[in-house]
């Protein structure tokens, strides 16, 4: 009987404790990265973003009111549709004071992160690059995005903490 009560107590304690822990947030930091790499052959910026999978799921649900789940093929079309809209709103690029149209290419996922791929319209090699990146700002007020801009092999990086979203670099 003592053994049974001990096991029951351990089970109840473990269950009560585990329910008091936050289950939505699996990591203490909300960090993403976005790279803008100018390709002189195609005269476009190749853009890639990397974000925690659960953070991006939560941000999309908050924005569009419907849950989607990466790593589930049934949601692929809906995720693509959401990411097209989401990137249009939260990711902007200017080259030499001209806004560039950004085209969504697609995404790849693994168990913990999502890579998003985009490409700008054609532009001449820039002397000045301006970005506005506010990915996941709609869900986290402690989001940090690390921005990399690469032009002709010169890489310039900076961290943007919510609410900062603008980055200007001269090349």
| pTM of full prediction above 0.75 | yes
- What is the extent of the structural domain holding 94? 31-170
In a domain, 10, yes or no: no
- Structural domains in the chain (count): 1
Give 40-99 pLDDT, tens digit per residue: 999 999 999 999 999 999 999 999 999 999 999 999 999 999 999 999 999 999 999 999
In a domain, 145, yes or no: yes
In a domain, 50, yes or no: yes
In a domain, 101, yes or no: yes
CA angle 110, 32, 46 (to 5 degrees): 80
**Left (φ > 0), alpha (ψ -120 to 50) or beta: where does 20 sit?**
alpha
In a domain, 12, yes or no: no
In a domain, 1, yes or no: no
Q: How far is CA 51 from CA 10, 34, 110, 165, 166, in A?
A: 37, 9, 11, 16, 19
Q: How far is CA 69 from CA 30, 53, 109, in A?
A: 19, 9, 11
In a domain, 20, yes or no: no
Per-residue DSSP letter, 75 = G
Confidence of residue 28 (pLDDT cuts 50, 70, 90): confident
Beta-carbon contacts of 99 under 8 Å, excluding residues fewer than 6 positions away, are 92, 93
């Amino acid at each position: 009987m003592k053994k049974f009560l001990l096991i029951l107590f351990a089970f109840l304690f473990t269950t009560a404790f585990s329910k008091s822990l936050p289950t939505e947030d699996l990591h203490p930091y909300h960090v993403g990265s976005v790279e803008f790499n100018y390709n002189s052959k195609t005269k476009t910026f190749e853009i890639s973003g990397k974000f925690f999978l659960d953070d991006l799921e939560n941000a999309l649900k908050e924005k569009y009111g419907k849950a989607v789940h990466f790593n589930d093929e049934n949601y692929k079309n809906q995720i693509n549709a959401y990411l097209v809209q989401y990137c249009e709103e939260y990711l902007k690029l200017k080259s030499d004071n001209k806004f560039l149209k950004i085209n969504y290419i697609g995404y790849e996922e693994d168990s913990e992160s999502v890579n998003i791929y985009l490409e700008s319209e054609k532009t001449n090699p820039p002397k000045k690059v301006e970005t506005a990146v506010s990915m996941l700002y709609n869900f986290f007020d402690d989001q940090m995005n690390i921005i990399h801009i690469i032009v002709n092999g010169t890489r310039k990086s900076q961290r943007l903490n919510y609410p900062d979203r603008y980055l200007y670099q001269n090349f």
